Amino acid sequence: MTLFANIDAARGEALRHQLLTLLPDQSVVLAGENFDPADVSYILTWKIPENLAQYTALKIVFSIGAGVDQFLGETLPDGVRLVRLVDPGLTAMMQEYVTMGVLALHRDLPAYLAQRQTETWAQVAVPPAASQRRVGVMGLGELGKGALEALKPLGFSLSGWARSAHQIDGVTCYHGAEGLKDFLAVTDILVCLLPLTLQTEGLLNGNLFAQLPKGAALVHAGRGKQLHHEDLLAALDNGQLRAAVIDVTDPEPLPAGHKFWSDQRILLTPHIACITRIDMVVPAIVANLQNHRNNKALQGEVELSRGY
């Protein structure tokens, strides 16, 4: 039962070395090596490799990232399972990024950075106490729950929204279409960590922004296709939003001359909220390989009909 690591050579070699240290009887092959596709039971990849039908013994496709929207629309053979990466290291990185973004918006960092251009030394505003700032997280999976946990010690008033109902200590939770309006109405800083699905594509648009309190702000670290760029710029121009921290866009990278590059109300980062490191990937893969061998549930298995 061979694992095919369909990643670059340097990371592939590191992965093979670390994986075989923990699971010595697991065969691992890399892209460019000679191997029989019929021996491959597992594929670790970012995208579906070409000629997938040749992997006749394939049982599991492991995504090397936490997201799986790149697999949406792909057809996996019957019985093949798709598993996204669930790892404490990725959660910790997202906690860092969301905390950074929320604090930057809470303390008006984009406006102060803009003042450097004109050498202006002036107070932008007196920020409310953290307890008076309402932060809402869209998406209550591992990353969303982790982000909320990281924000708790800072004293913000916290809420969360997801498609289905959740209960989280210290967080007011909303769910479904009927709960979205109420959630948005009490959110001063909106954090989007939703997976990309047919339902969430284009969700961050003018209609949604209009349901936030006047002068709200956005941290977007979900998926690029969820954000309508022109609607965000319009909301910034009319004062409905005052600033945004954006980590994901569509396309990536942004083309030269795109308005996000120069808009001083936007803090732009190049999709770095979570960066997959091999030392984070291996333990999660080993755990799931052992789970599969022992007929146990796979952590991070994707329900293909839902897209996450």
| pLDDT per position as a tens digit, 263-281 | 999 999 999 999 888 887 8
With 80 as the cut, is the pLDDT of residue 305 above it? no
CB atoms within 10 A of CB 164: 7
Please indicate whether residue 191 or residue 71 has the higher confidence score (pLDDT).
Answer: 191
What average pLDDT does the segment 40-59 reach? 93
With 70 as the cut, is the pLDDT of residue 307 above it? no
pLDDT at 27: 96
Average pLDDT over the chain reads: 94
Percentage of residues in the chain having pLDDT higher than 90: 83
CB 87 within 8 A of CB 283: yes
Q: Which residues of 213-248 are buried (b: 16+ CB within 10 A; e: fewer)?
A: eeebbbbbbbbbbbbbbebbbebbeeebbbbbbbbb
Q: Show which residues are catalytic.
A: 223, 271
The encoded tokens of residue 163 equal: 């498609």
Rg (CA), the chain: 21
pLDDT at 68: 80
Residues near 276 by Cβ (< 8 Å), separated by ≥ 6?
A: 64, 65, 85, 90
pLDDT at 65: 81
What average pLDDT does the segment 59-63 reach? 94
What are the counts of helices (DSSP H) followed by strands (DSSP E) for the chain? 9, 12
- Taking CA 52 as the corner, what is the angle to CA 50 and CA 54, rounded to the nearest 5 degrees? 115
Smallest CA-to-CA distance from 213 within 140, 292, 134, 297 is with 134
Which phi-psi region, left, alpha or beta, contains residue 73 (left: φ > 0; alpha: ψ -120 to 50)? left
Residue 4 phi, psi (nearest 5): -100, 115
Reported as a pLDDT band with limits 50, 70 and 90, residue 133 is: very high
- CA neighbours within 13 Å on the CB side: how many for 156? 29
CB 181 within 8 A of CB 211: yes
Smallest CA-to-CA distance from 80 within 46, 37, 43 is with 43
With 80 as the cut, is the pLDDT of residue 250 above it? yes
Reported as a pLDDT band with limits 50, 70 and 90, residue 121 is: very high
What average pLDDT does the segment 130-141 reach? 98
Reported as a pLDDT band with limits 50, 70 and 90, residue 246 is: very high
pLDDT digits (tens, 9 = 90+) for 87-100: 788 899 999 999 99
pLDDT at 185: 98
pLDDT at 43: 96
What average pLDDT does the segment 69-76 reach? 75
CB 142 within 8 A of CB 123: no
Residues near 248 by Cβ (< 8 Å), separated by ≥ 6?
A: 220, 221, 222, 223, 224, 226, 227, 271, 273
Of 36-50, 67-81, 223-237, 260-274, which range is least confident?
67-81
pLDDT digits (tens, 9 = 90+) for 170-225: 999 999 999 999 999 999 999 999 999 889 999 999 999 999 999 999 999 999 99
Task: Give the pairing type, strands 60-63 and 81-83.
Answer: parallel
Task: Give the pairing type, strands 172-175 and 189-192.
Answer: unpaired
Distance, CA of 232 to CA of 267 (rounded, Å): 13
pTM comes to: 0.86
